[in-house]
Structure 1
Amino acid sequence: MERLNYDEAFIDEFGNVHGVVEGHEDGAVMLNSHVDTVGYGDRDQWDHDPYAATIEDGQLYGLGASDMKCAMASMVYGGAALANLDLEPEHDVYVTGELMEEVSEGHAMKYVVEELDVDWEAVVIGEASEMDVKRGHRGRCELRIDLQGASCHASAPERGINPLYHAAEIIDRIEELNEETNDHDFLGAGTIAATNVEVDTPSNNAVPAGATIYVDRRLTIGEDEATAHAELEDAIAAAREEYGNDVDASVETLTFDRPTWRGYELESKKYYPMWLLEEDHPLVQDTYEVAETVLDSAVEIRKWTFSTSGNYTMGVAEIPTIGFGPSREEWAHAANERVDVEDVVRACDVYAGLGLEL
């Protein structure tokens, strides 16, 4: 970005990278992409080397091609177009490469919003949107239920308290709770699922001393962290109906505190609120008009299926947030991850237009 005539380019203390094109009024607009990726999974499922960035039939294949190096590239060069125009944007335009989104989306944005001295007017997230506009998504919460038992030799299980039996009752109730979540005509229904069980046991020939159930809760309108906790307390109560006061259980929201590559430490809950911008909101309509004008094609206003860092920028910080990006949702986190090269190029123009318009 220094070579592309940005007014400023820097790496913050957390480790995020920013390029700035200065505007003539107070406030700033962020064009946001994350620069980390998931792993490539099973190498045998890839037709191309995930690290080779192979281009075939107009598509670029490789790890992060869809999620989301493509948007980062488009934003960098869209910002460069702004930097080299005679026109000056109204607000400062930040092109931001975010860390650690794949392990805790919004974690890095907590630092950016709380620690950088910037008055954010709007955020544009470049996650895959099929070149449409996306105005929200469900939230999520990662939780654990810790169960305490009493270990003993498995030859005499009556001497102990087996937390696995309590866990089974709780999991049965969680399955039932999945049919009782809220629904929303745009974002869809919330979901709850038990995803893993860990056991603290001295031996396969012993009653366990403890067990932990991990739970994924997807949150729609009217649901939040407290909703998820109440549901899991309900599941624990179902186990107590069967096993009485032998059930010793507690519910906790997981946290994330891994140091960044710069050694910066920040703790945040793994609770990611849902968010939704109304369709008639100026940011939605301005983004729609810029995209449709620049692309000269029909553009839809939709939602994301997955979660993004909008859960922090809009869901927590209440900064108006919108989504537009090249590539497709179904290509993210998949073997043969790819993006249409033409869409990456066309997205540059859209991001430049958004920098001027917003």
Structure 2
Amino acid sequence: MATGLDSDYLNAGLDRTQICKIEFREKGDATLESNFPKVLELAKKYEPEMTRFLRDMIAIPSESCQEEKVILRIKAEMEKAGFDKVTIDPMGNILGTIGHGKHLIAMDAHIDTVGVGNPDNWQYDPYKGHEDNEVIIGRGGSDQEGGMASMVYAGKIIKELGLEDDYTLAVVGSIQEEDCDGLCWQYILKEDILKPEFVVITEPTDGKIYRGHRGRMEIKVTTKGISCHGSAPERGDNAIYKMAPILSELRALHPNLKDHPFLGKGSLTVSEIFHTSPSRCAVADSCWISIDRRLTAGESGEYAMQQIKNLPAVKAAGAEVTMYTYERPSYTGLVYPTESYFPTWLIEENHPVCSTLTDTYRGLFKTEPVLDKWTFSTNGVSIMGRYGIPCIGFGPGHEDQAHAPNEKTWKKELVQAAAMYAVIPSLYVRRYADKMPSNTENLMKIGQ
């Protein structure tokens, strides 16, 4: 039987969800913590639905620039879960929102995947997939459609328990990350004008909280020559020979790059080599290489480019050093060109955003979280690396499953992530929103 405030609210014509929402706001932090067991219970209850949704996404091939069908499947699930608004922007990213509060919080999952590679290396069909009591196997399970499944059902939990507070939660399904990490968020921040106070990146973290990773660049080095008949090579100028000492100096540069105690060492590798020549019986008149350059703290894009330009062999050959540009159309046909520069980012361990996640983890799971970093790159290169918006990482799956045959994710991690995502916004508003810096001066200075 309803009594006290409950009775008053019922007499006012409010339903149970509306009453929960009002009481949640009025009773404060203690009410939030009292909801932790209910959040975990619902997250576990929705495991079958999350599993089915994830398998539906896996079944839809969604390589970069081919994501339309999986975006529409996500839209249907968001609407079913009760999101307040679901939109698809002109680039093709999907944004589902819950709440109308003043604190804008975003959570991101890129929903494009890489291809399957050699199908013979898969034990199961990469799109039909496979599941047992513990794991789901299929392309995109860990990298990273599992994050989307957990986010959508976190939204459902928020609605069901009335956990809406003075925040607006934006759940983002971003595209083209595998092709050009962060491009989607360049568009979202500059064109959609979405400016969250922080972003949770749901790439796989193996149950840990990740607070950054190295950046990267895609660099092109070109040498020019003069072609002639291969029977008399002295008449020409061989561009491949000009490249040879450059390759040696690049190899020698790698072990001398900067190191960082948390993020690790900068790295460099030559990943591709090409040439032009009138025929196989001619001297090459141009040669160019691609360099995959990973950037640690203290290595900016300009710094890394200048390192290569200063190599004696580069100067002697008159080689051109440039950065690649990405300009492939999205599935909607939109072209949004950008340099292939993806800045390093790292958030401090005592930053309010990091504390939000560690408090949430402790409260839900009654144990201490492990703080770590990704080896690979994420959309954080734009969100925090370019624009200084704080990022933090927590997602289902394991990094070593990314791009691998027989990629899998773990059902228990889908449940844990859904619980985390359901609590993070309210805990942030209650404990840390008023502790956020007015600017990004206390964020670790990367690439300076």
TM-score by length of 2: 0.77
Distance in structure 1 (CA, Å) of the matches to 2:396 and 2:346:
21
Q: Which residue of 2 aligns with 1:3?
A: 80
Letter in 2 for 1:305: T
- Once the two structures are TM-superposed, the CA of residue 138 in structure 1 deviates from its matched residue by 0.3
Answer yes or no: is 1:13 the counterpart of 2:83: no
Contact 1:150–1:162, Cα closer than 8 Å, also in 2:
yes
Counterparts of 1:168-247 in structure 2, within 5 Å, are 168-235=244-311, 237-240=312-315, 244=316, 247=317
- Once the two structures are TM-superposed, the CA of residue 56 in structure 1 deviates from its matched residue by 2.6
Contact 1:109–1:309, Cα closer than 8 Å, also in 2:
yes
Contact 2:93–2:174, Cα closer than 8 Å, also in 1:
yes
Answer yes or no: is 1:33 the counterpart of 2:85: no
- Once the two structures are TM-superposed, the CA of residue 248 in structure 1 deviates from its matched residue by 3.2
Letter in 1 for 2:313: A
Q: Which residue of 1 aligns with 2:189?
A: 113
Distance in structure 2 (CA, Å) of the matches to 1:119 and 1:220:
26
- Once the two structures are TM-superposed, the CA of residue 343 in structure 1 deviates from its matched residue by 1.1
Letter in 2 for 1:176: A
Distance in structure 1 (CA, Å) of the matches to 2:194 and 2:160:
23
Distance in structure 1 (CA, Å) of the matches to 2:133 and 2:229:
63
- Once the two structures are TM-superposed, the CA of residue 86 in structure 1 deviates from its matched residue by 2.1
Contact 2:104–2:195, Cα closer than 8 Å, also in 1:
yes
Q: Which moved more, 1:222-231 or 1:155-164?
A: 222-231
- Once the two structures are TM-superposed, the CA of residue 292 in structure 1 deviates from its matched residue by 2.7
SS of 2:255's partner is: coil
Deviations 1:189-238 (A, max 9, x none): 10011111101111111101101111011000110111221121123x22
- Once the two structures are TM-superposed, the CA of residue 302 in structure 1 deviates from its matched residue by 0.7
Answer yes or no: is 1:274 the counterpart of 2:344: yes
Answer yes or no: is 1:94 the counterpart of 2:170: yes
Deviations 1:258-279 (A, max 9, x none): 1111111101111000000011
Distance in structure 1 (CA, Å) of the matches to 2:399 and 2:279:
44
Distance in structure 2 (CA, Å) of the matches to 1:173 and 1:323:
36
Letter in 1 for 2:115: G
Distance in structure 2 (CA, Å) of the matches to 1:332 and 1:89:
35
Q: Which moved more, 1:346-355 or 1:316-325?
A: 346-355
Contact 2:151–2:418, Cα closer than 8 Å, also in 1:
yes
Deviations 1:270-290 (A, max 9, x none): 100000001111111111111
Q: Which residue of 2 aligns with 1:138?
A: 214
Extract unaligned runs of 5+ from structure 2.
Answer: 1-77, 429-448
Answer yes or no: is 1:61 the counterpart of 2:137: yes
- Once the two structures are TM-superposed, the CA of residue 293 in structure 1 deviates from its matched residue by 2.0
Contact 1:27–1:119, Cα closer than 8 Å, also in 2:
no
Counterparts of 1:304-343 in structure 2, within 5 Å, are 304-343=374-413
SS of 2:200's partner is: strand
Q: Call closer, same or farther: CA 1:15–1:155 in 2, change over 3 Å.
A: same
Distance in structure 1 (CA, Å) of the matches to 2:303 and 2:341:
12
Contact 2:308–2:314, Cα closer than 8 Å, also in 1:
no
Letter in 1 for 2:268: I
- Once the two structures are TM-superposed, the CA of residue 57 in structure 1 deviates from its matched residue by 4.6
Deviations 1:102-121 (A, max 9, x none): 00000000000111233310
Contact 1:5–1:84, Cα closer than 8 Å, also in 2:
no
Identity of aligned residues (%): 36
Q: Which residue of 1 aligns with 2:357?
A: 287
Contact 1:147–1:249, Cα closer than 8 Å, also in 2:
yes
Distance in structure 2 (CA, Å) of the matches to 1:208 and 1:351:
56
Q: Which residue of 1 aligns with 2:99?
A: 22
Extract unaligned runs of 5+ from structure 1.
Answer: none
Contact 2:205–2:396, Cα closer than 8 Å, also in 1:
yes
Higher fraction of helix:
2
Distance in structure 2 (CA, Å) of the matches to 1:219 and 1:117:
28
Counterparts of 1:124-163 in structure 2, within 5 Å, are 124-163=200-239
Higher fraction of strand:
1
Distance in structure 2 (CA, Å) of the matches to 1:295 and 1:46:
35
Letter in 1 for 2:81: L
Counting matched residue pairs gives 351
- Once the two structures are TM-superposed, the CA of residue 239 in structure 1 deviates from its matched residue by 5.0
